[in-house]
Homo-oligomer: A and B are copies of this chain.
Amino acid sequence: MTMSSDKNRLNAQASGVYVIAATPFRDDGEVDWHSVDSLTDFYLEKGVTGLTILGMMGEAPKLSEEETSQVMARILKRVNGAVPVIVGVSHASNRHIAHLSKAAMDLGAAGVMVAPVSNLKTDDQVYGYYANVARMLGGDIPICLQDFPQVTGVHTSVAVILRLVDEFEQIVMLKHEDFPGMRKLSQVRQQSLDEGRRRISIMVGNGGLFLPQEMLRGADGAMTGFAYPEMLVQVCRLFAQGEPEAAEDLFNIYLPLLRHEFQYGIGLALRKETLRRRGAIRSAFVRKPGPVLDKWDHEELTRLIQRQDAALNP
């Protein structure tokens, strides 16, 4: 057990790909510890800049508290400081967020990601929620705001984001997943600049569906779990090298499959199955209640993968 080193502490300069890690299960529903390791290795081999674990797509709400601790410990040990690891700590109770965040940082996490509870409506309510969490966690735990209204039902305005950035130094990253949300991304960047604010890292979600456009609008990278993270890595690298056209050319080859995986709900089953086919995990099982692929879904996925392979190797 090691304290999060300064090197891996999440900060506002973060860029690249913080892959949303799946949680692998066996066909009987138990956590597959062997696959937890192999999936972690897979992500590292594909060159990701960081990992984001225990998010919604990591089926975190379906893990027991003990499993949550074990998954966190196992992955952090396997990563062993190679890249920063962000831990999703969203919960109905602030006490639980505090408890889980401390545990994560003690194990060496780089920071935590927090989505709001679901009954927040006005700007003041959203601000108040995050301000309470930030104060509770204190200045030593870096925070990534998760803005995902399609699932949470909570709309975090540009004004709220900027106000939180002004008041809490520990908020260093925004996971931008509003849809459509490209203008919001531009507004956060532009208004920060206009008003001399601290620049935070912005990572985009939505499966990466608009990644090239978002990079051009000022995003720093992607935080998503597309089953071909090497593409995301290469696209971000090309953008960083000032080659947006090459980046988008590469992106577009994967776009048909990425768009396919973008489907809410069944997308997770498609993603796990693709990871399984690529040898990263041993079973594509999703905990119940959850999506299950049928014969047609399998054949459709096969065809899309074959078409992608053919496009990559013409």
Contact = CB atoms under 8 A, between A and B. Distances in A.
A210 B259 CA distance: 8
Contact of A95 (B62, B248, B252, B260): B62
Interface in A255-305: 255-256, 259-260, 263-267, 287-289, 294, 296-297, 300, 304
A300 B212 CA distance: 10
A93 interface: yes
B94 A288 contact: yes
A256 B265 contact: no
A146 to B, nearest CB: 16
Count of this chain's copies in the oligomeric assembly: 4
A47 interface: no
Contact of A288 (B132, B183, B216, B217): B132
A122 B157 contact: yes
A107 interface: no
Interface centre among A92, A96, A160, by most chain B C-beta atoms within 10 angstroms, is A92
A180 B263 contact: yes
A72 interface: no
A180 B266 contact: yes
A64 to B, nearest CB: 7
A65 interface: yes
Contacts of A149: 121
A167 interface: no
Given A287-B93, A288-B132, A294-B183, A123 B256 contact: no
Contacts of A61: 92-93
Contacts of A186: 296
Contacts of A123: 122-124, 157, 159
A124 B289 CA distance: 14
Nearest to A266: B180
Given A94-B289, A121-B157, A180-B264, 7 more contacts: A121-B155, A123-B124, A124-B159, A179-B263, A180-B267, A217-B296, A245-B307
Interface of A: 29, 61-65, 92-96, 99, 117, 119, 121-125, 129, 132, 149, 155-160, 179-180, 182-183, 186, 209-210, 213, 216-217, 245, 248, 252, 255-256, 259-260, 263-267, 287-289, 294, 296-297, 300, 304, 307
17 contacts: A61-B92, A63-B93, A65-B65, A93-B288, A94-B288, A95-B288, A119-B265, A122-B123, A122-B155, A122-B160, A180-B263, A180-B266, A182-B300, A183-B294, A210-B260, A217-B296, A217-B300
5 closest residue pairs by CB, A with B:
A122-B157, A180-B263, A62-B93, A121-B155, A123-B123
